[in-house]
Amino acid sequence: MAGQREKPVADLTPNRAKLEHARLEEEIAAHDQRYHQQDAPSISDADYDALKKRLLEIEEKFPDLKTLTGVSSRVGATPAAGFAKVRHAKPMLSLDNAFADEDVADFLGRIRRFLNLKEGDDIILIAEPKIDGLSASLRYENGALVRAATRGDGQEGEDVTANIRTLQHDVPHKLHGKGWPEVLEVRGEVYMTRADFLKLNEAQETAGQKIFANPRNAAAGSLRQLDPSVTAKRPLRFFGYYWGEVSAPLGRSMQESRKRLAEWGFTLNTPVRVCHSLDDLLAYYREIGAQRATLPFDIDGVVYKVDRLDWQERLGFISRSPRWATAHKFPAEQAQTLLENIDIQVGRTGTLTPVAKLKPVNVGGVLVSNATLHNEDEIRRKDVRIGDTVIIQRAGDVIPQVVSVVLEKRPKGAEEFVFPTKCPVCGQPAEREVDAAGEADVRRRCTGGVSCPAQAMEGLRHFVSRNAFDIEGIGEKQIAAFYEWGWIKEPADIFRLPKKHAAELRKKEGYGDTSVDNLVRAIEQRRTIGFDRFLFALGIRHVGQERARLVAMHYETPERWLAAMDEAKDRHGEAWGDLNSIDKMGDVVAEAILGFATRRQSRNVIDHLLKELADVVPPARPVTDSAVAGKTVVFTGSLEKFTRDEAKARALSLGAKVAGSVSKKTDYLVAGPGAGSKLAEAQKHGVPVLSEDDWLKLIGG
């Protein structure tokens, strides 16, 4: 084999090149597997590098051999199929954002209300910079670093232990000092300083290698290297800012915990400040904002955290972010550029979204060539025309947007933009829905439904996406190809792929046996799926992850859900009331869910899919052995020991369902003074009524 490889790439015939390329791909994938999954490499780093180099040389001469899933596409920050997955012991959450001062005031107000604090009660918050890098979780057992993972989707990240171990500073391999808990997960941000980033780019340029857009990309690209010896050469740093699983508390407050983390050898983000009021927070924000350009690293805002850990515990989480912290972002960065064209994109629900095609421009370190124009009314309101010079802005991770037009620079003869009334993809009418009050929706929608290729494909992309069915190896490109070949029209078709098309797929350009085997495996693995993911994947309007979870918890199985929907068709009566009683449910959402489940076309999609699946399992309830797990509870009247929000959050965390109205299915009504119609309703249905104290007794304090 080695002999064959020594033949200069220039002398290879296309056929020989193809054969060798396929073999190299397979060989490298096997080494990756041994290295990352089994921790047992069987060749030296130098030999591995030689294999990769040869592969890249072949691809350079025969670019057709490059595939999206291939080895060469995996280097850098793009999806790294080579990393093992790690399930986080505790989810890695994100932060809610505040932009204006009022948002910070609201944040404080919410906390005070939730905790029922009195006027004079002091509340301490820790303010710290928000580093622009990527988060990582470092797990220590008995003082030794055993595992490091990226955030991933928050539930599951990538195993980057070998890479993190190469960091020269900030990450102790063994904890210093004493008194650390047996299990300690330290969470923080991996980042690169500005100076190091510039130096790295210079070196990259000299070596003719990839230039990074900003320190964050450089940090991400450097950490997510399949070959840790590359990471080792990159100047990565780590700031600790919180923790995940810990077998014993780190202290009573952020301040105490930070002190201990520092003693054990971590670098914590600075400068921090202890704040007692809104004014303190805002003063810190402005000071850091003024220092922003001179700080050694990029920050995109500051973070405020409630200091007391018992309060953090009580405040808990909403969906994916803690109630006890928020990120106060710095204002967006703006730039001027030429609007070259306006593209109309068609989304999953048929919405036509205008996208500004821009002359590429650098906005705060990122090259921007697309920006959203939101919708037809916005284009008219801002009077945006093709050929205009426009001001665009980007704030954090949001999609850049067109803010306004520089009218003085408008070329003569620029014409008003005419928004299409037909779908640019399928040609069917695009309409604006009018609500009961005669108000037209801002969105113009293609009326084609899944018969419109754009909607069908977007729907399928959503279906396989990470928070839905999460089918690895099927992304945008594969969906487009499979759709074009007529293989998939609806979700169920994806599960028919292994039997119907795998053999054919093996023969297609760019799909080797290994990648088809992996694809088939990925599909087969998902024949068992959580009901919440199942519901979210359907792409029902207004049903995001959180609502999907609530609905799934309520009905538990697709069969029960569908039976209830059939019963609720009359839109009054018990089943309809039951649907409406689910938390976060309103008429519009209930209607969307009911409509989806009962309309012929979408019901077929569900039925076909269910036939392909082995098991759709009820979503896990947080705590199953509590007295109220699985029970449906309604709160009414004024509560004295808790705020309503806190009581609700507590009930949910104990595995109860919280409903907004009383029905026969309600298990308990918790009624405080001033309870009205709900109390009467409960008495009518014979639902047990509890006082706040009864409730506390029931849940154990």
- Pick the binder of ligand IVH from 137, 150, 163, 269 (CB under 6 A): 269
Rg for the chain, CA atoms, rounded: 28
What DSSP state is assigned to residue 345?
Answer: E
**Measured from the CB atom, is 125 or 639 closer to ligand IVH?**
125
Q: Which stretch binds ligand IVH (CB under 6 A): 130-138, 193-201, 329-337, 607-615?
A: 130-138
**Measured from the CB atom, is 212 or 242 closer to ligand IVH?**
242
Task: Compute the distance between CA of residue 631 and CA of residue 637 in angstroms, rounded to an integer.
Answer: 20
Q: Least distance in Å: CB of 315 to ligand IVH?
A: 11
Q: Least distance in Å: CB of 309 to ligand IVH?
A: 12
Q: Least distance in Å: CB of 133 to ligand IVH?
A: 7
| Residue of minimal Cβ distance to ligand IVH | 135
Place of tokens 């397979």: 26
What DSSP state is assigned to residue 421?
Answer: S
Q: Least distance in Å: CB of 171 to ligand IVH?
A: 16
Question: Dihedral through CA 297, CA 302, CA 307, CA 313, nearest 10?
Answer: -110
**Measured from the CB atom, is 322 or 354 closer to ligand IVH?**
322
Q: Which stretch binds ligand IVH (CB under 6 A): 124-132, 419-427, 604-612, 654-662?
A: 124-132
Residues marked as catalytic: 130
Interaction between residue 642 and ligand IVH (CB under 6 A): no
**Measured from the CB atom, is 76 or 316 closer to ligand IVH?**
316
Interaction between residue 257 and ligand IVH (CB under 6 A): no
Task: Compute the distance between CA of residue 332 and CA of residue 162 in angstroms, rounded to an integer.
Answer: 36
Q: Least distance in Å: CB of 488 to ligand IVH?
A: 34
Q: Is 288 helix (H, G, I), strand (E, B) or coil?
A: helix
Task: Compute the distance between CA of residue 157 and CA of residue 32 in angstroms, rounded to an integer.
Answer: 18
- Pick the binder of ligand IVH from 130, 237, 533, 554 (CB under 6 A): 130
- Strand-pairing partners, residue 127, are 273, 304
Q: Say if strands 134-141 and 144-150 run parallel, antiparallel, or are unpaired.
A: antiparallel
Q: Least distance in Å: CB of 363 to ligand IVH?
A: 20
579 closest CA partner among 592, 566, 564: 564
Any residues with CB less than 8 A from the CB of 225 and at least 6 apart, and which?
75, 76, 163, 231, 234
Q: Least distance in Å: CB of 43 to ligand IVH?
A: 35
Residues in 303-322 that interact with ligand IVH by CB under 6 A = 303, 322
Q: In what order do the strands lie in the sheet with 632-636?
A: 657-658, 632-636, 668-671, 689-690
325 closest CA partner among 305, 339, 311: 305
Q: Least distance in Å: CB of 285 to ligand IVH?
A: 13
**Measured from the CB atom, is 130 or 650 closer to ligand IVH?**
130
The CA–CA distances, whole Å, from 271 to 127, 289, 291, 361, 672 equal 8, 12, 11, 33, 46
**Measured from the CB atom, is 327 or 589 closer to ligand IVH?**
327
- Pick the binder of ligand IVH from 325, 497, 616, 659 (CB under 6 A): 325
Total residues binding ligand IVH (CB under 6 A): 15
Q: Is 36 helix (H, G, I), strand (E, B) or coil?
A: helix
Cβ pair 180, 138 in contact under 8 A: no
Q: Least distance in Å: CB of 272 to ligand IVH?
A: 9
Q: Which helix (H) or strand (E) holds 493?
A: helix 491-506
**Measured from the CB atom, is 114 or 241 closer to ligand IVH?**
241
**Measured from the CB atom, is 83 or 241 closer to ligand IVH?**
241
Going residue by residue from 61 to 100, which x/- string records binding to ligand IVH, judged by CB under 6 A? --------------------------------xxx-----
What DSSP state is assigned to residue 12?
Answer: -
Interaction between residue 131 and ligand IVH (CB under 6 A): yes
Task: Compute the distance between CA of residue 5 and CA of residue 17 in angstroms, rounded to an integer.
Answer: 10
Any residues with CB less than 8 A from the CB of 519 and at least 6 apart, and which?
473, 474, 497, 502, 505
Task: Compute the distance between CA of residue 481 and CA of residue 488 in angstroms, rounded to an integer.
Answer: 9
**Measured from the CB atom, is 115 or 302 closer to ligand IVH?**
302
- Pick the binder of ligand IVH from 327, 339, 516, 649 (CB under 6 A): 327
Q: What is the largest CA-CA distance in the chain?
A: 88
Q: Least distance in Å: CB of 301 to ligand IVH?
A: 8
Tokens read off for 642: 């808790």
**Measured from the CB atom, is 216 or 461 closer to ligand IVH?**
216
Tokens read off for 294: 């001179």
Q: Is 112 helix (H, G, I), strand (E, B) or coil?
A: helix
What would the 3-class secondary structure string for 66-104 be? CCCCCHHHHCCCCCCCCCCEEECCCCCCCCCEECCHHHH
381 closest CA partner among 410, 409, 411, 405: 405
- Pick the binder of ligand IVH from 69, 72, 135, 401 (CB under 6 A): 135
- Pick the binder of ligand IVH from 128, 158, 470, 646 (CB under 6 A): 128
Going residue by residue from 180 to 219, which x/- string records binding to ligand IVH, judged by CB under 6 A? ---------x------------------------------
Going residue by residue from 226 to 245, which x/- string records binding to ligand IVH, judged by CB under 6 A? ---------------xx---
**Measured from the CB atom, is 93 or 218 closer to ligand IVH?**
93
Q: Which stretch binds ligand IVH (CB under 6 A): 32-40, 61-69, 123-131, 418-426?
A: 123-131
Task: Compute the distance between CA of residue 486 and CA of residue 499 in angstroms, rounded to an integer.
Answer: 15
Q: Least distance in Å: CB of 612 to ligand IVH?
A: 36
Question: Concatenated DSSP letters for 166-232?
Answer: T-SSS--SB--SS---SEEEEEEEEE--HHHHHHHHHHHHHTT-PPPSSHHHHHHHHHT-SSHHHHH
Tokens read off for 650: 């507590």
**Measured from the CB atom, is 54 or 320 closer to ligand IVH?**
320
Tokens read off for 100: 């204006």
Cβ pair 505, 513 in contact under 8 A: no
Residues in 274-303 that interact with ligand IVH by CB under 6 A = 303
Q: Least distance in Å: CB of 451 to ligand IVH?
A: 39
Tokens read off for 202: 């210079």
Q: Which residues bind ligand IVH (CB under 6 A)?
A: 93-95, 128, 130-131, 135, 189, 241-242, 269, 303, 322, 325, 327
